A and B are shown apart, each in its own frame.
Chain A
Amino acid sequence: GDSVTQMEGPVTLSEEAFLTINCTYTATGYPSLFWYVQYPGEGLQLLLKATKADDKGSNKGFEATYRKETTSFHLEKGSVQVSDSAVYFCALSVTRGGNKLTFGTGTQLKVEL
Chain B
Amino acid sequence: GAVVSQHPSWVICKSGTSVKIECRSLDFQATTMFWYRQFPKQSLMLMATSNEGSKATYEQGVEKDKFLINHASLTLSTLTVTSAHPEDSSFYICSAPGTGFTEAFFGQGTRLTVV
Chain A residues at the B interface, C-beta cutoff of 8 Å: 36, 42-46, 49, 89, 93, 96-106
Bitwise interface map of B from 98 to 109 toward A, beta carbon under 8 Å scored 1, else 0: 101111111111
Chain B residues at the A interface, C-beta cutoff of 8 Å: 6, 32, 34, 41-46, 49, 93, 95-98, 100-109
Q: Tell whether A96 pairs with B106 under 8 Å between CB atoms, given A44-B93, A103-B43.
A: no
Decide: B104 and A43 in contact? CB cutoff 8 A: no
Closest Cβ of chain A: how far from B56's Cβ, in Å?
A: 13
Decide: A43 and B93 in contact? CB cutoff 8 A: yes
Cα A100 to Cα B108 with chains together (Å): 17
Cα A45 to Cα B107 with chains together (Å): 9
User: Please, which residues of chain B bring their CB within 8 A of the CB of A100?
Assistant: 34, 46, 49
Q: Tell whether A97 pairs with B102 under 8 Å between CB atoms, given A43-B93, A103-B43.
A: yes
Closest Cβ of chain A: how far from B19's Cβ, in Å?
A: 18
Decide: B107 and A43 in contact? CB cutoff 8 A: yes
Decide: A49 and B103 in contact? CB cutoff 8 A: yes
Q: Tell whether A105 pairs with B108 under 8 Å between CB atoms, given A97-B101, A100-B49.
A: no
User: Which residue of B43, B46, B96 contacts A105 across the interface (Cβ within 8 Å)?
Assistant: B43
A-B CB contact pairs (8 Å), 5 listed: A46-B104, A49-B103, A99-B96, A99-B97, A106-B42
